Amino acid sequence: MDRDRTRDGCHHSHSGQKQEINALSTCEAEYIAMSEATKDLLWLSGLCKELEWKHSVPLLLVDNQGAIALTAKPGKHSKSKHIDNKRHMVRRNVELKLLTTQHIGTEDMVADIMTKALGAVKFARFRRAMQVLPVLSEDSDATTSTTSSEAAASSTMDEAAAS
């Protein structure tokens, strides 16, 4: 495995660079991001196959319905003619059933934890969804397993579930 893509023996996929082109719409920007994510998903799928690990078809969660529509319809669209052909690999892989896409609401997009400034409640909820444990400071009590923001997030979600 590439050393730049592993940490503590676990593979991670994260690209913290600017896009090389300027998108004309949010749909195009999301479609370009889907193209980059598709490359990573296919690489991970190939790794699983090489290691003989059984895995399901990768699922790409997207919060832009326009970008998902571009993957579902073959051919050029009036609003997407300018998108470079290399970006349409998402569409080809969906057609070949090597990848599936699914819409997820913006409120539930866990990946936003990496790209947006979030409030404490939402940050704690997304961190739990990723199964990342909080870091305890040196002066905190090691027996305390939740932070105040986690407790607030938990009670807010419990209240929402009850209603």
Entry pTM? 0.61
90-94 average pLDDT score: 88
pLDDT tens-digit series, residues 101-160? 999 988 888 888 888 888 899 888 888 888 887 787 666 554 444 555 555 555 545 554
pLDDT tens-digit series, residues 15-51? 555 555 555 677 888 888 888 899 999 999 999 999 9
Q: Give helix 120-129 / helix 148-162 axis angle, nearest 10°.
A: 80
More confident residue, 9 or 109: 109
Three-state DSSP class for residue 60 = strand
**CB-CB contact of 151 with 128 (8 Å):** no
More confident residue, 84 or 120: 120
